[in-house]
Every structure is written in structure tokens, then in C-alpha cells.
Amino acid sequence: MKNQRYKNIKIFLNYVLGPLLFVWLSYSVYRQIRDQPHLEESWIGVKASFTDTRVINFILVFILMFVNWSLEALKWKISVQNVQPVSFAKSLRAVFSGVSFSVTTPNRTGEYLGRVLYMDEGNRLRVISLTILGSISQLIITVFFGVMGLMILKPEIDKVIFPLWLEWIKSFGLVIGLAGFFFLTVLYLRIGWLVKWIDRIPAIKKYIWLINELEKADTTLLLRLLSISMLRYVVFATQYFLLFHFFGVEINWWQGFWATSIVFFVMAITPTIELFEVVKKAYVTTEIFTIFTVNTLGIGFVTTTIWFLNLVVPAAIGSLLILGIKFFKRNEVS
């Protein structure tokens, strides 16, 4: 009965609520772009960006996509090395494969499944907790900068009336962010406590082997993961900044960085399905950035380009790599 109920909820979220939100957010973004002043001039500027020196920005953003996922691959390689050492190339393949699994799952939860395919049979479940540890390190950085962005841009944000759910985040986001940052940081730096606490619960003690590796995560490893997560965050922000200039969105780096940090924060604390993420992110980005610019067309292009380069391209690469895994296994059996 519970399994059937869970299945029904999943079907509703994926095939009813998800598409409805997609349509609603798409219409909202379209309406914002349609009502933008000087829309025709903005469109001319977008087309011109592909024919002048600004195209270098686009090339740099594409290169930074590989830098971004290479940093994630390095982070995963470091995380799992005590369970099973993997080369950087293998780690990068695992990360790309994980992205291909993540596109249809809420908040990229399917990413773990794609990565563990590259581990030996007995190690696959053991490294999931370490993969989650790496995700927590990234979330800590995202929440930290999101909270900073909310504080730094508070005077500007308070002047704008957002849609209801963003108004709620504007009102309570700082409290939620600070509480979340404190909780995640303590949990992260004292992750061994969690393992010991779970080990005392008879009902789930038999599953303790799934997270035993977390107890071996020392401070050096945790700080290294946080450092790499910080570098990834800088890469994200740089991609946005380069594309703002590419698509003619006039905003300085200070405003751009902190406004982007708020967008990342909102996306991190609200559920989403990666397949529909581009529309939700475009909606949130447009709402936040209208504080500084009226070029909603350019903002829409920035968000779509980031989504395509950072998610669709890696997912396509990952899908091909997964086919390669299956092909290899068939040959091995024969």
C-alpha cells in the first residue's frame, strides 16, 4: 500500500504538477520578456553579440563548463579514494554519467546512480554516502553566499514586490539560510557523530555499513572538499558574468555576483526537476535581476545558455558513456 501511494505521488509530481509548473513559469517568463521596454533593440544586441569580439565570452563559458565538471570529478575522486581509488579520467566519466541520470529526477538525486556504475560491485552502495558528503559541501557554499547576498542586497530587494512565493523567501530566507548554514556546517564537520548516533538505533543499525565510510572522513578531507566546492562556485558565477556581457545585460560584477548568489540559493532550497529547471531558473533570475536591469530578454538567454552548456551537453556526453559501459560488459560476458 505504501509503495503504491509513493508511486502515485511520484506520478503526480512528474507528470501533472511538474508540467503545470513548467507551463505557468514559461508563460510568466514570456510575459516578462514581451513587456520589456526596447525589446527590439535588445534582440538586435543579442544577435550582434555573435558577430563581434564578445563571442570570446561565449567560448570562455564553454571552456569553463569543462572546468566546472572537472572540479566536481576531482572532488568525487578525493571522496571515494579510501573505498576504491579511481583515476581522474574515470571520475570525470562517472560525473558525466551521473548528470545524464539527474535530468529527470528531483534535485539531481539520480546523479548518484550514474556515478556508482563506475565502482566495483561491492563498493557501489558504500560510496553513495561519500557522494552525498560532496553534495553537502557544495550546498554549504551555496547557502553561505546566498545568505551573504540576501544581506548585502537587502536595501535593493526590499524596494521590489515579488510574486508571493518569492516574497516568502525574501521575508524568511535569511532566517532559513542562517539556520540551514549552521545545521549543515555542524553536521558536515562532525559527520562522524551522525554515524555513531545511528549505530545506537536498533531498527536501522543493520544498515550502518552504508555510511561507515563517513566516520573515516577527517578534517583534511572535509576542508579539501569545501575548497573545491568554493572553486566550483566561482566558476558558476564567472560563467554568469561572462554571459551577461555577451548578451548585453548591463550590470556590474558586484551586483551580478550577489544577485546570482541569491538565484543559486533559491534554486537550492526549493524542489525542482532538472528537466524543467531552465524555466524555473529563468523565472527566478528574471525576478531577481529586474532590480538592476530591464533587459529580461538577455537574462532569459543567459539562463538558457547556462542550462544548456552545464546540463544538456554533459548529460549527452554521459549518456554516450553509459552506452559504452553496457557495450563493454556485453563483450566481457561473451
Tens-digit pLDDT profile for residues 148-189: 999 999 888 887 777 766 778 778 888 999 999 999 999 898
Mean pLDDT on 207-233: 86
What local confidence, expressed as pLDDT, does residue 184 receive? 93
What local confidence, expressed as pLDDT, does residue 38 receive? 46
What local confidence, expressed as pLDDT, does residue 329 receive? 44
Which residues in 124-152 are b (16+ Cβ under 10 Å) and which e?
bebbbbbbbbbbbbbbbbbbbbbbbbbeb
Q: Dmax of the chain from CA atoms?
A: 67
DSSP for 168-211, written as a single string? HHHHHHHHHHHHHHHHHHHHHHTHHHHHHHHTT-HHHHTTGGGT
What local confidence, expressed as pLDDT, does residue 130 receive? 86
CA atoms within 13 A on the CB side of 171: 8
pLDDT digits (tens, 9 = 90+) for 313-331: 888 888 777 776 544 444 4
In this predicted structure, which of 45-59, 66-80, 245-259, 281-295 has the lowest mean pLDDT? Answer: 45-59
The whole-model pTM stands at 0.80
Mean pLDDT (the chain, rounded): 78
Mean pLDDT on 265-288: 75
What local confidence, expressed as pLDDT, does residue 149 receive? 92
Which three cell numbers, joined as nine digits, stand for 101? 541520470
